[in-house]
C-alpha cells in the first residue's frame, strides 16, 4: 500500500542543496527523508520504502550509480538521478541501470517539481487500467490487471517503466511513436523532456524481450522519428 502523501528520499551530500529541495518539496505537500551518503541511502530506501528517490550521482562511500544498481536488484522504486552538466556518460549508464529520469545541475525547482509530479503520476496510477490481456510478438502475454508479462509459460521480469513502455507500444502496434509522444504517454510529461530517457528505456526493454526469444523483440527504430512495434 503506497503512502497517502508521497514520501520522497532526497540523497545528496551538499546540505544547502538538500535544504533547498526539501523546502520546495514540503511546500508542494510531499513527505521527505534525507540521506547524505550511499550507505545511508540504501538503508533508508529499504526501511522507509519511499515512493520516489532523488539521487545525486556524486556521493561519498558509494556513488549514485552503485546505489541505483543495488536497489534495482530488489526494488522498482522510481529514481530520478541528479547529475552535473558534464556527466554525460554517467547519465546514460544510470538510465541503462534502471533510473526513471534525470535532472542536470543547475536546475530550477519548478523543473524538479514537474519531473517529480510526472514520475509519481505514472508510477502510482500507471498507464494500464483495464482488466484484460494483451498479446504481443513471440507469444508474449501482458496481464494488465496484475501488471505481469509472460513469455510462453513463465513470467518476464520487467520494471514498472518497461511494462508501461511495452503496453503503450502494443496499444499502438505498427504505428510509429515519436520519442516525444512516448514521453507524454509513458513518463506522463506535459512538458518538453529529454528523449535520451526513451532511448535508454527502449534498449533495456529490447534486451529483456530478447531473453524470451528473438521473435519477442519486434521493436524497431524509425530513423529521425522514434520507435514502432511490428505485429502481424
Residue 129 in this model has a pLDDT that exceeds 60: no
Half-sphere exposure of 116 (CA within 13 A, CB side): 28
Who's near 117: CB < 8 A, 6+ residues apart?
Answer: none
Parse the chain into domains and list their residue ranges: 7-125, 133-229
Percent of the chain with pLDDT over 90: 39
Higher per-residue confidence, 73 vs 43: 43
Rounded Cα distance between 6 and 24, Å, is 14
**Fold of the 133-229 domain:** Arc Repressor Mutant, subunit A (1.10.10)
pLDDT, one tens digit per residue, over 16-53 is 999 999 999 999 999 999 999 999 999 999 999 999 99
What is residue 68's predicted lDDT score, i.e. its pLDDT?
Answer: 92
Q: Is the pTM of this model over 0.85?
A: no
What's the distance, CA 88 to chain centroid?
18
Q: What mean pLDDT value characterizes the chain?
A: 85
Average pLDDT over every residue of 165-172: 90
190: confidence class by pLDDT, cuts 50, 70, 90: low
CATH of the structural domain 7-125, one choice from 3.40.190.10, 3.40.980.10, 3.40.50.2300, 3.40.50.10420: 3.40.50.2300
Residue 1 in this model has a pLDDT that exceeds 50: no
pLDDT, one tens digit per residue, over 79-119 is 999 987 666 777 778 888 888 888 888 888 988 998 898 88
Question: Are the C-beta atoms of 39 and 62 separated by less than 8 Å?
Answer: yes
Amino acid at each position: 500500500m503506497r503512502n497517502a502523501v508521497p514520501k520522497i528520499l532526497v540523497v545528496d551530500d551538499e546540505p544547502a542543496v538538500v535544504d533547498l529541495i526539501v523546502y520546495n518539496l514540503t511546500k508542494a505537500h510531499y513527505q521527505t527523508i534525507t540521506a547524505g551518503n550511499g550507505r545511508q541511502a540504501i538503508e533508508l530506501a529499504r526501511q522507509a520504502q519511499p515512493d520516489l528517490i532523488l539521487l545525486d550521482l556524486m556521493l561519498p562511500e558509494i556513488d549514485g550509480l552503485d546505489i541505483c544498481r543495488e536497489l534495482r536488484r530488489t526494488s522498482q522504486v522510481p529514481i530520478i538521478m541528479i547529475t552535473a552538466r558534464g556527466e554525460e556518460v554517467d547519465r546514460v549508464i544510470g538510465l541503462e541501470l534502471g533510473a526513471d529520469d534525470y535532472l542536470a545541475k543547475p536546475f530550477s525547482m519548478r523543473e524538479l517539481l514537474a519531473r517529480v509530479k510526472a514520475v509519481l503520476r505514472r508510477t502510482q496510477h500507471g498507464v494500464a487500467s483495464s482488466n484484460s490481456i494483451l498479446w504481443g510478438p513471440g507469444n508474449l502475454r501482458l496481464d494488465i490487471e496484475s501488471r505481469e508479462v509472460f513469455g510462453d509459460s513463465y513470467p518476464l521480469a520487467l520494471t514498472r517503466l518497461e511494462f508501461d513502455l511495452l503496453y503503450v507500444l502494443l496499444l499502438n502496434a505498427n504505428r510509429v511513436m515519436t520519442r516525444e509522444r512516448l514521453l507524454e504517454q509513458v513518463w506522463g510529461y506535459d512538458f518538453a523532456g529529454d528523449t535520451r530517457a526513451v532511448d535508454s528505456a527502449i534498449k533495456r526493454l529490447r534486451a529483456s524481450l530478447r531473453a524470451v526469444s528473438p521473435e519477442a523483440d519486434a521493436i524497431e527504430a524509425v530513423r529521425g522519428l522514434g520507435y514502432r512495434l511490428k505485429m502481424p
